Amino acid sequence: MEVLEKAGKLDDVVHLEVGEPDFEPPAIAREVASESAAHGEVSYTNARGKESLREAISDYYERQYGVEVPLNRIFVTPGSSPALLAVMLDVVDPGSEVVLTDPHYAPYPNFVRQAEGETTTVELDPETGFEPQIADFEAAVGPETAGLLINSPANPTGAVLSPESVEALVDLAERTGTRLISDEIYHGLDFDAEAHSVLEYTDDAFVLDGVSKRYGMTGWRLGWIIAPPDEEQAINRLVQNFLICAPNHVQDAAEAAIREGAGLDSIRDTYRERRDLLLEAARDWGLDMGYTPAGAYYLLLDVSSLPGDAFEVADRILEATGVAMTPGPDFGTQAENTLRASFATSTADIEEAIERLDAYFESH
Ligand SMILES: Cc1ncc(COP(=O)(O)O)c(C=O)c1O
């Protein structure tokens, strides 16, 4: 966000720092949002979300993963971020622990801290494609562990968990009586490996998802929680008290988007091509970390060979070339000497960024 602010003060910036898909939401979503608002669908809804939207979400899980999710376990929220906060408030007792991967989505530790919990991390290695090693997770789980928080396809690495890893994590959570919390917000943006939902292996987990990434609807603020059967009442109380409901007409628009689908086949092809462009350039610059993102739209670049820390490197590159990238340290110690480049931006912009960085690295 700070890089975005700095970039906003400069002219002619190419934005590789942002996590916003560049594609348009399904056209039907805009139509339905306007019609719905015009027809007065603007009051509070049931705190769980409108039944027709929850039916569309349930059908999506059936269609996509062949799993049955009853409507009473689905909670629609204003984005997946408040959903994550509600889940943390439910799972984490003061002093208990949540296991995260390192690197991880930057705000995760803050959600845990806000629930007065602690975090412990499992280090991921680019050499194994940032795929979690189950033995490391096993070693990280202790008597204080309340939850395991996983994210696939992952921000900031773009790694996609194999079905074997998902199954092993489900098994570990079951054996140790720990809650598995799976952030599946980048599902659908898996272009080299299929992303599997934890719900294919268990009902006994929290799943977080929403329309931000897959449908290009970040600012609409619409997400959801799938709660395990025995936490349904607790989550109901939390969302009733703290979230009230997601915007009424946006719920209708989200239902339309989910039913219509996002035309993801061509989007996935585009993201794969952009990933290839950026990866090839990273190899030329000597910043490649030796792994290939299989989903989401992020690539970590190793900047340890450049002078200064990752914040200084990001600033220097931004000032010299107008290319904005995100410094890695906020994603964890394993990303300390990295920059995160997003390929959610247009192919033309990525080509422009590569051209500018080619010239920069040639002269540096
Ligand atoms: C891993 C991850 N989870 C959650 C979110 C938040 O998404 P939402 O727009 O649904 O709040 C993001 C946004 O970048 C993300 O990268």
Sheet of 223-226: strand order equals: 74-77, 223-226, 205-210, 179-183, 145-151, 97-102, 118-123
**In terms of DSSP bridges, do strands 298-302 and 223-226 run parallel, antiparallel, or are they unpaired?**
unpaired
Helix (H) or strand (E) segment spanning residue 134? helix 134-140
Instruction: Tell me the CA–centroid distance for residue 244 and ligand 1, in Å.
Output: 20
SS3 sequence of 16-73: CCCCCCCCCCCHHHHHHHHHHHHCCCCCCCCCCCCHHHHHHHHHHHHHHHCCCCCHHH
pLDDT at residue 3, as a whole number: 79
User: Count of residues for the chain?
Assistant: 364
**What tokens appear for 10 in the block?**
């400069």
Query: Ligand 1 pocket: which of 101, 161, 185, 298 to mutate (most atoms <8 Å of CB)?
Result: 185
Which atom of ligand 1 has the smallest separation from the CA of 105? Answer: 1
**What tokens appear for 263 in the block?**
């035309």
Domains of the chain: 2-23+264-363 (3.90.1150.10), 27-260 (3.40.640.10)
Q: Whose CA is nearest to atom 13 of ligand 1?
A: 19
Per-residue pLDDT of the chain (364 residues; tens, 9 = 90+): 787 788 888 889 999 998 788 889 999 999 999 999 999 999 999 999 999 999 999 999 999 999 999 999 999 999 999 999 999 999 999 999 999 999 999 999 999 999 999 999 999 999 999 998 999 999 999 999 999 999 999 999 999 999 999 999 999 999 999 999 999 999 999 999 999 999 999 999 999 999 999 999 999 999 999 999 999 999 999 999 999 999 999 999 999 999 998 888 889 999 999 999 999 999 999 999 999 999 999 999 999 999 999 999 999 999 999 999 999 999 999 999 999 999 999 999 999 999 999 999 998 8
Question: Per residue in 339-363, is it b (16+ CB within 10 Å) or e — as a string?
Answer: bbbbbbbeeebbebbbebbeeebee
Which atom of ligand 1 has the smallest separation from the CA of 81? Answer: 11
Residue with tokens 């299929």: 194
Instruction: Tell me the CA–centroid distance for residue 321 and ligand 1, in Å.
Output: 28
Residues framing ligand 1 (Cβ under 6 A): 19, 79-81, 105, 151, 155, 183, 185, 210, 212, 218, 223
Instruction: Tell me the CA–centroid distance for residue 185 and ligand 1, in Å.
Output: 6
Instruction: Tell me the CA–centroid distance for residue 80 and ligand 1, in Å.
Output: 6
Q: In angstroms, how far is the first alpha carbon of the chain from the final one? A: 27
Instruction: Tell me the CA–centroid distance for residue 320 and ligand 1, in Å.
Output: 30
Instruction: Tell me the CA–centroid distance for residue 175 and ligand 1, in Å.
Output: 29
Query: Ligand 1 pocket: which of 1, 213, 217, 222 to mutate (most atoms <8 Å of CB)?
Result: 213
Instruction: Tell me the CA–centroid distance for residue 214 and ligand 1, in Å.
Output: 11
